[in-house]
Amino acid sequence: ILQWLDVQPGFLMTGFYLWALAAIAVSLSVLMAGAWLVQQRTGNSGWVDTVWTFGIGAIEWVNQFFFVEHANLGYQPKDQAYLAEMKKRVDDLGMKSVLIMCDRVGNLGHPDTAKRNAAVEGHHAWLEAAKFLGCHCIRVNAASDATLNPEKQADLCTEGLRHLSEKAATMGLGVIVENHGGLSSNGAWLARVIENVGLDNCGTLPDFGNFYVVKNRGNVEQYEKEKALYAMKIYCAWRQRSGFPY
């Protein structure tokens, strides 16, 4: 974007450039909102068609658009016939599915072992769906019990993510964690979790507008330093080690 705006390195960005960037951001938001509304009315096939008309060649799926609810495993993918229809539409248009964003499949850092294992198992079906659709990874959440201290939550999330990532590795897939509220929105905490998982196919999907200090969880000034450090590391360096595109 900066190249397109002809901003030279070291040049002080003026109000015009800031306005232009804001306009681009708003336009993209409107585009995505429009695509979402189309999806609500026409289903995933109609949504794919709409995205394709804007010249976008890659699809990020959201599991909340094609799920059935399971009593123990949370949101699970619709049947194989539905997935096959999605895949056919993407293939027919020469597009590519890149990932599935997975929500409401249980907490991978749940303090109850049975529920944590159920969350890991619940994500297995989304790994299989991602593999079938041609995605390279799934996006998950590092969520635990907010009443526990940060260190305990980190340990629990590390365990759940490691088990899930080990399964994903056997399928040639990656598991990426978004800073999506709770302690996961503390970049330093999330970086520690990913480092402790210690697997090349487990990394992050940073949302740079979603880093913050959870109330009563830390010093704001210190966190700003930690966030700056995390922004430099980003922990997406895993993609260079593993060969995954994220």
More confident residue, 205 or 220: 205
Backbone torsion region of residue 106, taken as left when φ is above 0, otherwise alpha when ψ lies between -120 and 50, otherwise beta: left
CB-based contacts of 15, cutoff 8 Å, min separation 6: none
User: Among 38-42, 50-54, 62-66, which stretch is predicted with the lowest mean pLDDT?
Assistant: 38-42
pTM beyond cutoff 0.85: no
pLDDT at 241: 46
Quick one: which H or E segment has residue 12? Answer: none
46 backbone dihedrals φ, ψ, rounded to 5°: -65, -35
Q: Sheet of 96-101: strands edge to edge?
A: 58-62, 96-101, 137-141, 174-178, 202-205
Q: What is the pLDDT of residue 17?
A: 57
Number of helices followed by number of strands (H, E) in the chain: 7, 7
* pLDDT given for residue 5 in this prediction: 44
Quickly state the pLDDT bin for 15 (edges 50, 70, 90): low
Which residues on adjacent β-strands are paired with residue 77?
67
Place of tokens 């978004």: 178
Return the structure tokens found at 89: 């539409």
C-alpha R_g of the chain: 19
Distance CA 155, CA 161 (A): 10
pLDDT of residue 224: 66
Mean pLDDT, range 157-178, rounded to an integer: 98
Percentage of residues in the chain having pLDDT higher than 70: 67
Please name the residues in contact with 5: beta carbons below 8 A apart, sequence gap of 6 or more. Answer: 17, 20, 21
- Which stretch of 94-98, 149-153, 174-178, 208-212 has the lowest confidence by average pLDDT? 208-212
Contact between 97 and 135 under an 8 Å Cβ cutoff? The reply is yes
Kindly state the average pLDDT of the residues 186-212: 87
Q: Is the pLDDT higher at 93 or at 42? A: 93
Residue 165 sits at φ, ψ, to 5 deg, of -70, -35
